[in-house]
Homo-oligomer: A and B are copies of this chain.
Amino acid sequence: MTKVIDFQTDPSKYRHWKVEYDGPVANLFMDVDETGGLFDGYELKLNSYDLGVDIELADVVQRMRFEHPEVKVVVMQSGKEKVFCAGANIRMLGGAEHSHKVNFCKFTNETRNTYEAALADSGQNYIAAIKGACAGGGYELALACNHIMLTDDSTSSVALPEVPLLAVLPGTGGLTRVTDKRKVRRDLADVFCSIEEGVKGKRAKEWRLVDEVIPNSKFDETVKERARELAANSEKADVANGIELTPLTRDFTEDAITYSTVEVTMYREGRRATVLIKGPESDAPKDMDAFTSEGAEAWLLRCARELDDAILHLRNNEKELGLIEFQTQGDPEKVIAHEALLLQNKDHWLAGEVLQYWKRLLKRVDMTSRSLVAIVEHGSCFAGPLAELLWSVDRSYMMLEEFDGDNRPTAAITMSDGNFGTYPMGNDLTRLETRFLGTPEQVEKLKSSVGEALQADDAEELGLITYAYDDIDWEDEVRLFMEERASFSPDAMTGMEANLRFAGPETMETRIFGRLTAWQNWIFQRPNAVGKEGALQRYGTGVRGKYDMERV
């Protein structure tokens, strides 16, 4: 699987999803093209999915927010008879490398989180309307919806058959959503997860696995009615027209990707990449009308889309680059002005969407299992949303005072009001609150420095950066750090960073990425699942997996 995975798509290219817009209701049909797998060697039968299917879904969800703000309810349903979705494709999983399995689950999890939060974030409510078998990843698609409707017939059921059938865990938050979102009683959850054929009818409702069970004859009608009802009761403001998410401008070369606002440079020998974000060149649009007419060209939206694509590319296509260095370049005041327009117009639908997107994007950075560092050079613009990167990374290095021959403006960090609540992490705290968990009074104190250009000595004193170095030490210290990081075991780094980055409270989201994912990754290496005689390899052969029965 060395093909480059592209995370950009648009409706003209969809092979697996179809959307029919009906005023405030969007009917989203999953109708997977069997022959449309991202890689060779498997067919996507029974609406099973691979990463390619999920990339399209992520695109649907994203466009729903920006291009179709009129939508208040999305009804997720199957375009096929007799099956809702059979889950992740097993042959794909059986043939995939460990790292692809892990990255696949991470991306699908991020997509689930995104449409699950669409109601709270943007007033778009996802309903799952289940007819036919809904198993494994299929039920996880439904679990991330906020209302689950199941038809009551002999072939329709919900199931998490991974454990009995495949010797792995449901990989997309299933166990956590069953206990923590649906709040299914734990012994019933245990039974449910042991039954290959799943649970149907009344019992599915009694066990809290679905919200409604509806006679087959009335199902379609009831789903329509429920969608209309939820749309009518929605508090989402009416918006007539969205903006178009036009194709990104990208240029790939051997060791670089150039976007309009982001430049990725790959240093393969040093096992690292720099991600340079260029601040806006023009002034902020004067009002939201001006912002809206810029559409996808508006700097904050364009930059978010480009950075998002760059992160996904590095994660999935450049696995040997263990260190990502964030750099910025530009005028911090302009960054602050561009953000300020949106902060002042939070109630404007598009301002809200762009800020929410930055929230999601920054969470994606937090969840990226590479060592992350911010390099704050002269001429940089770590301000507002870009300043969040300083507290998303594992460490930061900042230039102190003048550097010989460097006439760029002295490095400074500028906080905005946005840094105090607009971009919460998965743990529901701001990055500053997480950073100063031991000294919460420091977060209050920092508020008085909003808008100030804080140079390295002040930034270090305030705890905003890890290290400040002057011209004499800078190069050596940064180089030593990079060399050190490149020498460590990537696995130990992944584990260490997954534990150090998310101090404080856990949420359903952090539990999915922390507890559930870690256990799944463990199982994804065990011979009982992935060995020659393991269940994933033997699936479909008619022979069950052969297990080492030792409990660990």
Contacts and interface: CB of A to CB of B under 8 A. Distances in A.
A438 interface: yes
Contacts of A450: none
Nearest to A440: B183
B488 A550 contact: no
A345 interface: no
Contacts of A491: 167, 522-523, 526, 528-529, 552
A486 B466 CA distance: 52
Contacts of A552: 98-99, 102-103, 319, 369, 490-491, 494, 521
Interface string A488-518: 1111111111111101111000010011101
A325 to B, nearest CB: 14
A484 interface: yes
A11 interface: no
B551 A489 contact: no
A437 B322 contact: no
A495 B523 contact: yes
Contacts of A179: 437, 499-500, 503
A493 to B, nearest CB: 7
A188 B396 CA distance: 10
Query: How big is the A interface, by class?
Result: 35 or more
Nearest to A548: B490
B169 A489 contact: no
With most chain B CB atoms within 10 A of its CB, the pick from A175, A370, A548 is: A175
A113 to B, nearest CB: 17
A180 B503 contact: yes
Contacts of A163: 488-489, 492-493, 496
Nearest to A515: B514
A272 to B, nearest CB: 11
Contacts of A343: none
B319 A185 contact: no
A492 B319 contact: no
Interface stretch (A126-134, A189-197, A380-388, A468-476): A189-197
Contacts of A103: 552
A98 to B, nearest CB: 6
B180 A492 contact: no
B549 A183 contact: no
Interface in A150-175: 162-164, 166-169, 175
A346 interface: no
A187 B436 CA distance: 11
5 contacts: A99-B550, A175-B496, A185-B463, A186-B501, A518-B518
- The 3 A-B residue pairs with the shortest CB-CB distance, nearest first, are A183-B438, A518-B518, A167-B489
